[in-house]
Amino acid sequence: MTAHALLVSPLYAGFFALMLFVLSIGVIRLRGKRRVQFGDGGHLDLQIAMRIHGNFAEYVPLALLVIVMVEAVGYSRYWIHILGLALVAARLLHAWGLTRDKQPSSGRVVGMTLTFAVLAAGGVLLIVDFARNAALM
């Protein structure tokens, strides 16, 4: 196996770092506005902001790691862009969907479906790469 330069995935790592920053600031601002140190204080807007932030923090690190590894093992930059753009769309749709009154909203459902698709597709690509290289050992 040959390691490949990471040329595309850093773009998505940068985007997700900024997105986490924005989501964190949103939670901090609402905590200040609502004067809540811990938890959500029973405020629905803070609950929603915390879940958007929390869900992002639960899924994006592994999905981004998978994207970085797909690039590192040598898949085409097109694969990296497909996975990266799908994850960007997924997380934006999910965040927007959680703010809708009717739950579960279509944005939330499509966002999570796309997130799972990125994890599944990336996972399959990595397993295929491993199997291909294991056959050469």
DSSP 8-state class, residue 8: S
Model pLDDT, residue 135: 82
Model pLDDT, residue 12: 98
Q: Six-digit token pair at 94?
A: 């999910």
CA 53 to chain centre: 11
Q: Six-digit token pair at 34?
A: 């609502």
Note whether 113 and 93 are within 8 A (CB).
no
- 3-state SS of 98-119 is HCCCCCCCHHHHHHHHHHHHHH
Give pTM, 2 decimals. 0.92
Model pLDDT, residue 25: 98
Q: What is the pLDDT along the chain (137 residues), one digit of tens a residue?
A: 567 899 999 999 999 999 999 999 999 999 999 999 999 999 999 999 999 999 999 999 999 999 999 999 999 999 999 999 999 999 999 999 999 989 999 999 999 999 999 999 999 999 999 999 888 77
Domains of the chain: 9-136 (1.20.120.550)
List all residues 6 or more positions away from 52 whose beta carbon is below 8 Å from its beta carbon: 23, 26, 94, 95, 98, 99
